Structure 1
């Protein structure tokens, strides 16, 4: 099961990088990808990331695309990446000595401030990273982080510095699973992450769980995910706030659940048709300014 879990995380990383890299290169002259805990899996996820970045090197004329690899023993990982990169225009910087000890310093030394920056930190095999390590990635502009944490880790401290922060539990059963968190300074990037999340190929035994779902319902990975947990979370949210516009509820789904804004729209149509919620005005298109409330 560990190999299957690793495959799911690696595919999600690849899918997100495939969307992130072209947009980042279009936006900035210098672009950085930082891969922490790179030696924890022998460099497999770092190699997968490097393959995606190498595919982008045809578009880097006049731009700098760099990959920072940090881990206890980063040099063997760099040697593994060398065979993948060849003569492609991807600069790799390897820093040994531990991600918590070295990442922030390495980012500063590489000049990865105020440039497009994406960090990937899979700490699921050991202790959770220091909050300051994750916060160091907010130096990018825009900045993003994909963070994998051991089961049961408190997520709230890692939200610091990230205007948008979402999470999902990678579950194989009733017991708590690894936590995958995503932080970003861009709403558009969060939408892209959610699209990648549900586009991952379904692997036997691995499902998602929304950390905010009190019923801890397991959700199959699908382009059209089961709406049950989202229905419960939208109704609970309306119970707290009283009423909200469709736009507000779409934003809530995007930022506070594992679902996408479009999933919220579909669920709201179902809830309105079933009479589980009210709407004002009572007729017409379910546009963003329509106010939804409880009966």
Structure 2
């Protein structure tokens, strides 16, 4: 691929930017950003350029940012007091010139930096761990609930399950076909967890904006249809159910797993190496 050629002004400006000495605010205080245009860098002191972006207005750029989920996961991983937005203020120039200038400067900086969330050829690996030997090769499913959200409790015969939407029926049927290991993971804030688990929490978990707990594992066996008043609820149930309360945020590889697979509802997560961790935690 032909290498992109940048104007000398762009190269000189980029080389003059010392990211570690730029003004900064905490990511959680992003509403305090100035309204000026410029380049921003999101990261920690150890990894200051996890993401590089540009904006005509730094303050409004973070309204509905397309990488919001990734940034919040970085906060979960590193803590609210460690993730910063460093910013470089662009010089005054006509708006038409500013747009092109910032676009070229951002592109040059990304190409010549190690980033995690820009997904370029020079980006850091998306997963910080090596693919491991798998002990289970069939489909594996995970259901994300909010902390305290109702699921079907374990009965005396060792069965359990959870409600799922009709649009996930194909996944539920496939889980039954292979008697798949199925996990229930709950998420919520520190206050949610404190309400649900009372005082059985570690104080250092407060640093995470969202806490994740592995709650239940069972083998999918059947679907129950519970109808009332013309409405039907679908319940994926199984046996060999075991209940846990395992805090997941601190486990290697969980951050990437949560970004890609932890969506509300039933999800096939078989391709993730973190499945092996889930299986090991519940053996």
**Which TM class, normalised by the smaller chain length?**
under 0.3
Q: Which has the higher contact order (CA 8 A, sep 6+)?
A: 2
Calculate the TM-score normalised by the size of structure 1: 0.26
Calculate the TM-score normalised by the size of structure 2: 0.27
Q: Which has the larger radius of gyration?
A: 2
